[in-house]
A and B are shown apart, each in its own frame.
Chain A
Amino acid sequence: MFENIPLAELAIGRSTVRQRILALLMVEPERRLHLREIQRRVGTSPGTASRELARLLAAGLIEREAEGVQVYFRAADSPVAAMMRQLLLIPTDAPVLPRPSSIARSRRQRGARVGQLAPASVGDPAETPIAPSDGTETDAETGDAPQPIDAPVPALPERPRVINPVPHPSGPGSAGAASEVSAALEGATLPGSGAVGGATRRPLPSPTPLAPSVSTAAAAVPDALGLLVGARFGAAIRPIYGSRLRGLYLFGNRGFGPARDDADVELLIVLDRVDAYGDELERTSAVCAQLTLELGLVVSRVFADQARWPGIVDGFVPVVVDEDER
């Protein structure tokens, strides 16, 4: 994204969300984007995106255009913005990823591991529940033949083994928050993991300083309910994917900290490879639907290809991580 991270931090602060938003708008200066799209593409919450946009607006680096009820943002056509763009040396064909790839390395340096998958045991994608074919539901809306929600989602299991979400250790107030999250997850594990009793919880890693380019946003304490739902979701899709599952991350509002009760639970599923996106949606469709019905919350998922996943990213909180990813 930015060729010169220290200069970017000096010029527009250390918020990587702000840097990402600016990069997004400056990479395509002629294009205007609305808040929701910016939020999605940057991978942050609407509130954070809105706050950072207001700051960039106040700094004169971006412009705001209202069209009816829709508000759009674009890179400002000002000398300051042009200078900033040149200073930042953004290549025009740079992919807009939520995080510079160099950050992924800091993950290993920090040793802030948060969980690992048990060895693959089961999981044949061919056995996964597939929704009925599109032509089979004629007149079903009359209620004559209601279809059961298939693929039962495992209930919250007993003790944690491979799921061990930990807020960033160097975050403000993280010690109390860490214990709060750990307490909330007491009783969450993956089925079939063989964990018995409380002896399997791995110790928290010792705190190490953040790398200079890592935003303090990473220090936010993740939402406990989001992590719990993520744990259940992970348990439900593990038999579907087996060793193909490389990681499961909580993101969106709940990835940045305690969220509103009705906030969506947004999960990113990292697979070894994603050849046909629709097939992956299909495989997890029943799990999402059932959890959504049961919890009264939208549980949504997005799939990422391991090859394109940059590693740890602000606002993406690991729930389950394959040991090979460590």
Chain B
Amino acid sequence: MTPDPRATQLIDGASQAIAAAQRDLDADELSAAAERICVAMLRLAKACLTVDGVAAGPTSAVCVSYGDRFARGGRMYSAYQRWLLDAADLRKASTLAVAAAVDRGAVERAAERAEIFRDAVSRFVQKSGAS
């Protein structure tokens, strides 16, 4: 059995978003980088849900469904759900006028976590395709 093509597509999209975020970071565009990292994390969560046959909905539904299916039961490392929510909140902070300034370290940390999450989701999708 081969990996779910839609999940693979989502992982590829996430990889592109992470690469773009790195370029934004190099250009010191923290807000844009935070946005792309969040997009990447959401795509990866959607890839996991796709394997389970769950249709992806809006951002909040993705976060809730992912937590329900993968963090609660320990199917994936529970920190990934926290990182997903953190990435969404980092994006929100980078665009909300009243929020404190988002520092480079926060975005870099989010980018590293997105890469770790991508690798984990890739393995998960591969395994689910092999089984």
Contacts and interface: CB of A to CB of B under 8 A. Distances in A.
Given A298-B63, A298-B85, A300-B88, A141 B98 contact: no
Contacts of A40: 92, 95-96
B81 A289 contact: yes
Given A146-B73, A277-B106, A293-B67, A300 B85 contact: yes
Interface residues on B, range: 35 or more
Interface string B59-83: 1110110011001111111111111
A199 interface: no
Contacts, number: 152
Interface in B92-120: 92-93, 95-103, 105-107, 109-110, 112-113, 116, 120
Given A288-B89, A300-B89, A276 B105 contact: yes
A278 B60 CA distance: 21
Interface residues on A, range: 35 or more
Interface of A: 37, 40-43, 95-98, 131-132, 134-135, 137, 139-143, 146-149, 262-264, 266, 268, 271, 274, 276-282, 285-286, 288-289, 292-293, 296-298, 300-305, 308-310, 313, 316
A95 B67 contact: no
20 contacts: A43-B96, A43-B97, A95-B97, A97-B97, A97-B98, A98-B98, A131-B79, A132-B79, A134-B109, A137-B120, A139-B123, A147-B77, A148-B78, A268-B98, A281-B86, A292-B67, A292-B81, A292-B85, A296-B64, A298-B59
Given A277-B102, A278-B103, A292-B64, A146 B78 contact: yes
* A interface secondary structure, majority: mixed
A148 B78 CA distance: 7
B17 interface: no
A245 to B, nearest CB: 14
List of 7 A-B pairs having minimum Cβ-Cβ separation, nearest first = A146-B74, A278-B106, A274-B100, A140-B77, A141-B76, A40-B95, A298-B60
